[in-house]
Chain A
Amino acid sequence: MGAPTASCGPSAGKGARPECRLEGDWTLRALAPRADEYRRLLARAGHDASWKLDGITRLDSFGATLLWHAWREQWPQDLSADDELRTVIGRIEATAAEPLPERGSFTLADAVVVLGAGLLGFANHLAGFVRLAGQLCLDIAYLLHHPRDWPLREISANLYKVGAKATPVAALVGFLIGVVLSYLSALQLQAFGADIYIVNILGLGIVRELGPVLVSVLVAGRSGSAMTAQLGVMRVTEELDALSAMGISRTLRLVLPKVVALTVAMPLLVLWTSAVALFGGMVSAWVQLDLGFGFFLDTLPRVVPVANLYIGIAKGAVFGLSIALVACHFGLRVRPNTESLSANTTASVVSAITVVILIDAVFAIATRSIGVPG
């Protein structure tokens, strides 16, 4: 096992051609540490040199490629090598002559195609989403006639996963947001001497708006992504196909439980998070403005009409429904490869949050005259 060596220089004789004598192992492993050096050395000698390869003990396809490129893809006229070496280099010659197809460069036409594909893809998503929602309606109609087929076990398992297990993190985030919101508002209100309006601001803001949206963002990131990934992996492992082959509806058994569970769990989570956020706000108001808990709780129902609570809960249910639908829609679109899985999971979370904010805007317009004091 010898290190590869190459000695290239003018030949001692009449000096017609420079001579290149290669020795040792010309393999990837031996050459790798100083590949650049050898590449330059061989290139300098070039195609016209007199090549003596007899000293080579091992030649692999990497070594052969180095030589072949140094020779500018032609056999040198003056080459001394045995048949074995010639076969190895010959293999490179045979395949290098027939280059691999390459992707063309990006042109204006491609840009138009990409843009068009994007628009068509959006239409495709919309159609798929409507189809999924329609299938769910059909499933529910079927279940109303066959109450024994309700996937209760799955619904309960999903309720636990998306609801009960989300309470600690929802409480933590809610509490901190409540504290921060209350602290910042208190700083402004103090300047006007309008301390007691902190109750109005926190009550209205959290119960009507912040609670539902905050929980939605949390749930989209936490449960929405999990739903997409779960369905996606089931596609990759062919579990979805196995279900279909057994004649079990995937929407009924996989999608419906998730949608029902999240629609039920979200209003409860909203209630829970809003309560904890109000508590956080109360603590902060007490510290900052010296507002007692009793006063806060006493004032809250007077300044915040109960309609706001109903709006918040209704929002929660609608947001939950849309997050679950979006997550399942993207989950079922996963194709059996890792790239598609990650792309769809990302798209699921981003779309779910966007959809929630859009629906929130619709709610804001539709309920602009309900539950607002004055």
Chain B
Amino acid sequence: MSDASIIELRGIVTRFGSNLVHDGIDLSVARGEVVALVGGSGSGKTTLLRHMIGLTRPAHGEVSLFGEQLFSGSLREQRARRRRFGVLFQHGALFSALNVAENIGFPLRELRVVTPKEIRDLVALKLAMVELEPSTALLMPAELSGGMVKRVALARALALEPELLLLDEPTAGLDPDRSAAFVELVRSLQAQLGLTVVLVTHDIDTLAALSSKVAILAERRIISYAPLEETMKLDHPFVTSFFRGELGRRAIARSREKS
């Protein structure tokens, strides 16, 4: 089972009214891969991510996670499947009525098999993993800065020990320093826990530092799905403007320097 792909999209078609967003998208993500999903504004990246986690359903085509169709099986099986991935939403989506520790412990408490003491230790561990001080545990989401919100949300996404992590614009709204630190954090966690990661991003720095493969969404399809080096050679207007523009060249040079 380990060689089967974690995410398998086949023939995805999405329509919003008369607007065709996706027209036959195929994509398969293997275990341990870090896939960056890029594309212009309105190309349906986030929609595709929402298909993957079952928040929306495509008009046609099928989505499989962990080798099983997303909506197959009994309710209990579907719920169990949903617990195998963690999602980091663009704005964190922390529950504003709960403090940081309660937010991170929430999915664990919902399982009803973990004791309060274990939850406390696990929350402390997740907080340490995302490099936050234990003293932040009692803060409310409204009291956190943008970078901290993302870290807490990441800790919550990791609470159920997921095999798959989906990140929607993980570095949007962070300053370059914080964004670099966050990318570094995701990369080390990915290595540490052996996660499969799918991220939607606009930020070339994030993409260059993290991704093992880049999927480009343009003209309602995935026009390329390959490692960054090969993607760079592609001759397509989007690729040219996105990667070979001034910003893109500098970012990629920076990431090469680092590695």
State which residues 65-99 of B face A: CB under 8 Å. Answer: 80, 83-84, 95-97
Looking at B13-21, B134-142, B217-225, the stretch in contact with chain A turns out to be B134-142
Q: A62-B122, A91-B125 are in contact. List 19 more A-B contacts (CB 8 A).
A: A28-B160, A28-B161, A29-B80, A29-B161, A31-B113, A32-B113, A61-B122, A61-B126, A61-B161, A69-B117, A91-B129, A92-B121, A92-B125, A95-B121, A95-B124, A95-B125, A99-B120, A337-B96, A337-B142
Interface contact B124-A62, CB-CB below 8 Å:
no
- Tell me the smallest distance from the CB of B185 to a CB of chain A, in Å: 15
- Tell me the smallest distance from the CB of B88 to a CB of chain A, in Å: 18
Interface status of B37 (Cβ within 8 A of chain A): no
Interface contact B137-A100, CB-CB below 8 Å:
yes
Interface contact B142-A99, CB-CB below 8 Å:
no
Given contacts A1-B1, A339-B96, whether A98 and B137 have CB atoms under 8 Å apart is no
B2 to A, closest residue via Cβ: A1
Complex partner residue of A101 from B121, B125, B135, CB under 8 angstroms: B135
Interface status of A103 (Cβ within 8 A of chain B): yes
Separation of A29 and B160 alpha carbons in the complex (Å): 8
Which residues of chain B are within 8 angstroms of A65 by Cβ–Cβ distance?
118, 121-122, 125
Interface contact B121-A35, CB-CB below 8 Å:
no
A-B CB contact pairs (8 Å), 6 listed = A28-B111, A29-B80, A29-B84, A32-B113, A91-B129, A96-B124
Interface status of B101 (Cβ within 8 A of chain A): yes
Interface status of A175 (Cβ within 8 A of chain B): no
B126 to A, closest residue via Cβ: A61
A interface, over-half SS = helix
Which residues of chain B are within 8 angstroms of A68 by Cβ–Cβ distance?
121
- Tell me the smallest distance from the CB of A40 to a CB of chain B, in Å: 12
A64 to B, closest residue via Cβ: B125
Separation of A194 and B102 alpha carbons in the complex (Å): 66
Please list the 3 inter-chain residue pairs (A to B) with the smallest Cβ-Cβ separation, ordered nearest first: A337-B96, A35-B113, A339-B97
Which residues of chain A are within 8 angstroms of B83 by Cβ–Cβ distance?
29
Interface contact B120-A35, CB-CB below 8 Å:
no
Chain A interface residues toward B at CB < 8 A: 1, 27-29, 31-33, 35-36, 39, 60-62, 65-66, 68-69, 91-92, 94-96, 98-101, 103, 335-339
Separation of A94 and B121 alpha carbons in the complex (Å): 10
Separation of A35 and B112 alpha carbons in the complex (Å): 10
Interface contact B140-A337, CB-CB below 8 Å:
yes
- Interface contacts (Cβ under 8 Å), in number, total 81
B194 to A, closest residue via Cβ: A58
- Tell me the smallest distance from the CB of B59 to a CB of chain A, in Å: 31
Separation of A68 and B123 alpha carbons in the complex (Å): 15
Separation of A66 and B140 alpha carbons in the complex (Å): 29
Which residues of chain B are within 8 angstroms of A339 by Cβ–Cβ distance?
96-97
Interface status of B114 (Cβ within 8 A of chain A): yes
Interface status of B234 (Cβ within 8 A of chain A): no
Interface contact B135-A98, CB-CB below 8 Å:
no
Which residues of chain A are within 8 angstroms of B117 by Cβ–Cβ distance?
69
Which residues of chain A are within 8 angstroms of B127 by Cβ–Cβ distance?
95, 100
Separation of A325 and B125 alpha carbons in the complex (Å): 48
- Tell me the smallest distance from the CB of B77 to a CB of chain A, in Å: 12
Which residues of chain B are within 8 angstroms of A94 by Cβ–Cβ distance?
128
Which residues of chain B are within 8 angstroms of A35 by Cβ–Cβ distance?
113-114
- Tell me the smallest distance from the CB of A30 to a CB of chain B, in Å: 10
- Tell me the smallest distance from the CB of A85 to a CB of chain B, in Å: 14
Which residues of chain B are within 8 angstroms of A39 by Cβ–Cβ distance?
115
B143 to A, closest residue via Cβ: A337
**Residue among A31, A32, A99, A100 with the most chain B CB within 10 A?**
A100
